[in-house]
Amino acid sequence: MKNAKLQAFIPLFYLVWSDDLLTQKEFVTLKEFIKSQKKLSVEEQEYLLSKVDISNPPSRNELTQWKSDIEANIKDKSSIKSIFDIAVALSEKDLDISALESDFTKLENDLGILGEEVIQNFKTKSDSLTANSQTTNSFDIQQLTSILNGKEAPIINRVKSIISKPEFAYETSTDINIYRQTVYKWCKILAEENLGNMAYPKQYGGGENIADYFAVMETLSYHDLSLVIKFGVQFGLWGMSVQSLGTEKHYAKYLKDIGSLKLPGCFAMTETHHGSNVKGLETTATYNHNNQTFTIHTPNKNAQKEYIGNAAVHGQMATVFAKLIIDGHDYGVNAFVVGLRDANGNILNGVTIGDCGHKMGLNGVDNGTISFDNVVIPKENMLDRFASVNDKGEFESPIPSDNRRFFTMLGTLVGGRIGIPRSALSAAKSGLTIAIRYSDQRRQFGPEGGSEVPILNYRIHQRRLLPHLAKIYAVHFALQYLTNRFLNRTEAEMQEIEALAAGLKSYSTWSTRDILQECREACGGKGYLSENRIDALKNDTEIYTTFEGDNTVLMQLTAKNRLSEFRKSFGEMGSFGIINYVYENAKTAITEKNPIATRRTEDEHLLDGEFHLQAFIHREKTILASAAKRIKRLIDDGLDTYDAFNVVQHQMIDVSQAYLERVVLEQFQIAVKAVEDLKTKEILTKLSQLYALSQLEKNKAWFLEDGYMEAVKTKAIRKMVNQLCWDIRPDALALVNAFDIPESCLSAPISKL
C-alpha cells in the first residue's frame, strides 16, 4: 500500500504525531479530512486512517523516516510555502493531487497551522539574523575610559591598584565578626595610603581635595561596599561633621586622628523614632552653667541612636545630634562630640551600646544603637560653628531661626548625597558588566538545526539590559555635573544644589536597585550564587535608597524646591499667574504640539537630540505648573497646607522625576558634544538616544494625555528603542569594559572573558 497519492499525506501524519501544540481534537479533524476525500478508495482511506489512530501510534522509527522523507524532498526548494506544497513534492509523479489544494489549505487553517512555520522546521539552517549578531567594538575602549574618568584619572587608577592587591581579597566568611574586622583592617590600609583624610585641610594632614575624595569613594565602590560605607562613616560622616559643624579647636584636636583612623568615630543622628523627621529627635544636651558642661541624655528607649555605623564595635567618639536645652528652653538640634569607648575599646560610663545584628547587606559595617544616661561632656565639645553658648551661659547664633540653622547645618553635610549616588552607580556598573559579559557568552536555544545563540542576541534580553547601560552612562555624566556644581558652589546656589543632590541621590540609587535586579534575573541561577557577586552588590546597595535620606522623602523635598523656584520665577502666584504661565508654556510648545509634530515618526526626527530635550523640558515645565496649580486650588478650597501637600504627594514625585530626567539628559548631551573622537562620539550619541527614547517610552502615557505625542509616534518610539538596542548590542561588551573595573573586584566566575 504505497502510492504517490498516499505519500501526500505524510506531512500531515508527521505533524499530528510530532507537533507539541496539536491535541486530540486535531486527530478528529484530520480523520474527517481523510474521510471527506472522495477520490480515495475505501482501502486507501482505511490505510490512511490507520496512521492516525490514537491507540496505535507509529513507531519512533517510522516517524523519523517520515521526517527524513520530507526533508529530503523539500531541500533547497525555496518555492515550498505550505503543507500542500510538501505534499506535492512528496508525490511528484501523481498529478491528480493538484485538485486537493483548497482542501489542504482549509485543513491547515482548521488545524491552526502556519505553513511557513512548519516548513522552516524541516529546513536546517544555522545562519539566522539572530544567530549572527556578534560582539565587535566600533570605538577605542581606552579613550572612552579616559572620558569617563576625566581629570580624576590619576587618583582613580591609584585606588584601583590598591584594591587589586592580595590583601583586599574578598572576605568569604559569613561570620559578621570576622567580616567586620576584615573591613576595619582594609580601612586602616586606606588610611595609611592617605585616602581617608583626602578632603581635610592640609594643616591637619589632609589632602584638601574634595574632588579626589569623591573619586576615591566611587572607585572603592568597585570593591566591597561594606568597606565603602565604613570608610564613609569614619572619614566622611564622622570626620566631615567635625570639619563642617565644628571650629578650629575641634579641627586641631580631632582631624588628624580621624584621618589616620587612630580615632574611630560615629555620626549619631538617627533615632529609632526619628529617621526622616530628624528635626523631631529627642536626645537632649542640657547646659550646666555651674560647671560649663553639657549633659547628654536619652529620654526614652525610642530616642536611642539607631543604625549608627562604627558604633557596635569600633567607635570611640561620636558626633551626637541633640536638642540643646538651656535653662529649660529648647534651642533646637545641635551637634556635640561625645566619647563612647576608651582607647582600649571599653565602653564608657553612662553609654549603652546595642548591636543592630545581622542585616540584609553591609554586614562588614558594625551598625549599632547608642543610649546615653546623663553623660557629662565639657562645654568645648559642642560643635559650635553655627551656634554656641556664650560665657554668660546664653545661646548665641548667627542664624536666629532654629529651623533655618538646622537646615544650614544639614546643608553642610550634602556631600554624603553626592558620594552615595556615585557609589551606587559604581555598583550598577559592576553588576551590568557581569551580566553583559555573561549574556554575551551564555548560549541557549537557537534556530532549528543551528547551534545555540548567545542570549544577548535575543531582543528581550537586549531590552532588559541595554537601556540600563544607556542609563548608567547618562547618570555618570549627571553625577559629574552635580559634583562640579557642588565644588564650585556659591551661597546663593546652595538650595538648588541641595535639591539637585537629594534628587539625583534618589534617581541614582533607584536606578541601581532596578539595574541590579535585572542583572540578577538576566543571569538566572548563576546570578543567585554568591560567588558571582550580584548577591552582595544588590543587598549592600538595597539600603542606599533609605540612608542619607529616604528616597521618597527626598523626592518630596526636591519637588518643593522646584515649586519654590517656580514661584519666584513666575511672580504673581494667584491662580491667574499660574494660568498665565501654563498658557505661556503652551504657546512656546505650540510649534512642537502641532498635528505634524505630534505625529512625526521619521528616523531622523526620532533620533534628534533637540527633539528629545524639548520633549523632556516640556514635560518638566508642564508637570511643575500643574502641581502648583493643584496645590493652590486645594488650599483655596479650604484644605490645610499640610493636607494639600499630602493629596499631591504622588504628583510631587513626578515633578522631581521630570526635573531629574531633564537634567540627566541635558548633561549627557552636553558631555557627548564635548567629545572629539568621532567613533566615541558616535557610540555615546547612540546611548544618549537610547536613554532619551526609553525615558520617553516609559513616560508615553503622560505625553499621550498631554497631547504632545500621538499614538503613531509613541509606537514608533517603541520600535526605535528596539532598533537601538539591536544596533548597540555588538558594542555592549566594549561599553561595559570601558568602565575598566579591576578584574579582581568583579571576581565573578561568570564575568571571566
Q: Which is nearer to a copy of itself, 443 or 679 (CB)?
A: 443
- Minimal distance in Å, beta carbon 320 to a copy of itself? 18
Q: Are 290 and 333 in contact (CB under 8 A)?
A: no
Backbone angles phi, psi at 295, to 5 degrees: -105, 120
The three cell numbers locating residue 193? 595610603
Q: x/- site string to a copy of itself, residues 420 to 439, per CB under 8 A?
A: --------------------
Using DSSP's 3-state secondary structure scheme, residue 341 falls into strand
Q: Which is nearer to a copy of itself, 163 or 750 (CB)?
A: 750
Q: x/- site string to a copy of itself, residues 302 to 341, per CB under 8 A?
A: ----xx-----------------------x----------
**714 touches a copy of itself (CB under 8 A):** yes
- Minimal distance in Å, beta carbon 505 to a copy of itself? 14
Q: In what order do the strands lie in the sheet with 368-372?
A: 305-308, 368-372, 351-355
**443 touches a copy of itself (CB under 8 A):** yes
d(Cα 60, Cα 65) in Å, to the nearest integer? Answer: 9
**176 touches a copy of itself (CB under 8 A):** yes
- Minimal distance in Å, beta carbon 550 to a copy of itself? 6
Q: Are 48 and 100 in contact (CB under 8 A)?
A: no
Q: What are the Cα distances from residue 24, in Å, to 107, 117, 206, 305?
A: 15, 21, 80, 69
Q: Are 50 and 125 in contact (CB under 8 A)?
A: no
> Which residue in 124, 292, 484, 649 binds a copy of itself (CB under 8 A)?
649
Q: How many CB atoms lie within 10 A of CB 222?
A: 26
> Which residue in 58, 150, 205, 350 binds a copy of itself (CB under 8 A)?
58
- Map the footprint of a copy of itself across residues 551-610, applying CB under 8 A: 551-552, 556, 560-561, 564-568, 571-573, 577
Amino acid at 202: K
Q: What angle do CA 679, 684, 688 make, to 5 degrees?
A: 150
As to burial, measured by CB atoms within 10 angstroms (0-12 exposed, 13-18 middle, 19+ buried), residue 41 is exposed
Mapped to the 3 state alphabet, what secondary structure does 498-521 carry?
A: HHHHHHHHHHHHHHHHHHHHHHHH
- Map the footprint of a copy of itself across residues 87-106, applying CB under 8 A: none
d(Cα 640, Cα 130) in Å, to the nearest integer? Answer: 59
Stretch that binds a copy of itself, among 53-61, 83-91, 150-158, 432-440 (CB under 8 A): 53-61
Stretch that binds a copy of itself, among 150-158, 244-252, 537-545, 736-744 (CB under 8 A): 537-545
The three cell numbers locating residue 552? 521618597
- Minimal distance in Å, beta carbon 668 to a copy of itself? 24
> Which residue in 249, 640, 673, 674 binds a copy of itself (CB under 8 A)?
640
Q: Which is nearer to a copy of itself, 380 or 542 (CB)?
A: 542
- Map the footprint of a copy of itself across residues 389-418, applying CB under 8 A: 395, 397-404, 407
- Minimal distance in Å, beta carbon 374 to a copy of itself? 26
> Which residue in 134, 172, 203, 484 binds a copy of itself (CB under 8 A)?
172
Backbone angles phi, psi at 344, to 5 degrees: -90, 0
d(Cα 486, Cα 561) in Å, to the nearest integer? Answer: 17
Number of residues interacting with a copy of itself: please give it, by CB under 8 A.
137
**444 touches a copy of itself (CB under 8 A):** yes
- Minimal distance in Å, beta carbon 23 to a copy of itself? 6
- Minimal distance in Å, beta carbon 3 to a copy of itself? 23
**270 touches a copy of itself (CB under 8 A):** yes
> Which residue in 706, 727, 742, 744 binds a copy of itself (CB under 8 A)?
706
Stretch that binds a copy of itself, among 41-49, 181-189, 419-427, 450-458 (CB under 8 A): 450-458
d(Cα 668, Cα 670) in Å, to the nearest integer? Answer: 5
d(Cα 614, Cα 604) in Å, to the nearest integer? Answer: 15
